Amino acid sequence: MVQRVDHSFKAMGGPARFRMEVDDVGLADVAVTAAVAEVERLERKYSRYLDDSLTSRINLAAGTGQVVTIDAETAGLLHYATTVWRESGGLFDLTSGVLRRAWDFRSGRLPEQSEIDAILPLVGWDKVEWDERGVCLPIEGMELDFGGCVKEYAADSAAAQLQRSGVQCALVDLAGDMAAAGAPLQGAGWPIGIRHPRARDSAAATVILPRGGLASSGDYERCMEIDGVRYGHILNPTTGWPVGGLVAVSVLAEQCLVAGSAASVAMLKPAPQGLEWLGGLGLPWLAIDRDLQCHGNLLEAGSD
């Protein structure tokens, strides 16, 4: 008798949920433990909010000349981030998080250009010195932020862990980053509502995820409007200013990590180039522009 099991918890600063279909509830219990532990492991390792995380140690060593030793997994993430940086023409940049110091989206105040100019020298993936053994941020104040890929990676890793523990059918949802390991018995896949960018809690569309990952990126989370101009939290690492491109993008891919990067890069580009990038990848996607027009083939490809 197949039973549905849900497990909700908090991780990586947001709500997290595992949905599973299992024959043996006891098995699900064990599998959930291992998968939650995997998410927590990645959070402890990469969160910039935890003082003893690897990320914090790397950031603390910035400008000291000290090379912080890294393991194969971290080197893999840096290698992956380099690929996304290169493919995005330098728009996706793990060092761009320091720009947050200039931009306070709750203040309703635009930063002075001089504030941004003071921070821009700290941004630039090409300045980071790293190899398979260690990483060094050469300038004091530089910061690495794995936020742009670790949650997606954790969703994939948790789904893989559930599968390894014997759960053949599971959906991992880490605050909107989804990874499916096997489709449920009923229906072609997991039904997932994609949020409307300007209306909380209402779905713009429902897509069906049979396997792989779905990630969404949007600037409706943090933004401010000044004199009728909307400033989103997605910042161009070269100018330090909000991009002002698409307002929401969702992408389906074999891996949640790749889906997330595809969506992030689309958001970092001006709207026309963003749409072009998405169209070119050949993945199912959905984008919403500033006029709330929907683009993309996700609804035809994924929905029922």
Partner 1 sequence: MATNKNDRNPALMALTSSALLLPAYQGAQADAPPEFAEAGMQYSKYKEDDITAKKAFGFTDSTRQRFDIDVAQFHLLAPVLDDWSVAVDVAWEDMSGASPWFVGESASGDPKVIMSGASIEDNRTEVSVTTRYYFDRGNSGLSLTYSDEDDYESKAAAFDGAFNSADGMTTYSGAISYSDDHIDPTQGAVPTNTTSASKDIYSAWAGVTRIVSKRAIVRFGLSYTYRDGFLTDPYKFRDSRPNERKEWVASGGYRRYFEEQNSALHVDYRYFNDDWDVQSHTLDVAWVWDYSPAVTYTPFIRYYTQHEAEFFNNLAQQDQRYFSDDYRLSAFGAFSYGLRASRKIQNWEVSVDAERYRTDESWGVFSGEESPGLVDFWRYGIGLNYIFK
x/- string (CB under 8 A) for partner 1, residues 270-289?
A: -------x--xxxxx-----
Q: Helix H segments across 122-195?
A: 150-164
Neighbouring CB atoms inside 10 A of 187's CB total 11
| Cα–Cα distance for residue pair 246/236, rounded to 1 Å | 13
Place of tokens 């504030």: 115
**For residue 168, which of 151, 153, 182 has the smallest C-alpha distance?**
182
Kindly list the distances between the CA atom of residue 100 and the CA atoms of 115, 161, 242, 260, in Å, as whole numbers in the listed order. 11, 34, 11, 21
The CB-of-284 to partner 1 minimum distance in angstroms stands at: 5
- The smaller minimum CB distance to partner 1, of residues 161 and 236, is found at 161
The 36-75 contact track toward partner 1, x by CB under 8 A, reads ---------------------x-----------x-xxx--
31 vs 110, beta carbon nearer partner 1: 31
Among 34, 118, 139, 208, binds partner 1 (CB under 8 A): 34
Smallest distance, Å, CB 84 to partner 1?
A: 6
What backbone phi and psi angles, to 5 degrees, belong to 27?
A: -65, -40
Q: Which residue matches tokens 């709330």?
A: 292
Binding residues for partner 1 restricted to 215-244, rule: CB under 8 A: none
Cα angle 26, 28, 31; round to 5: 115
Residues found near partner 1 in the complex (CB under 8 A)? 26, 29-30, 32-34, 57, 69, 71-73, 76-77, 79-80, 82-84, 86-87, 153, 156-157, 160-161, 164-166, 212, 252-255, 257-258, 261-262, 277, 280-284, 297, 301
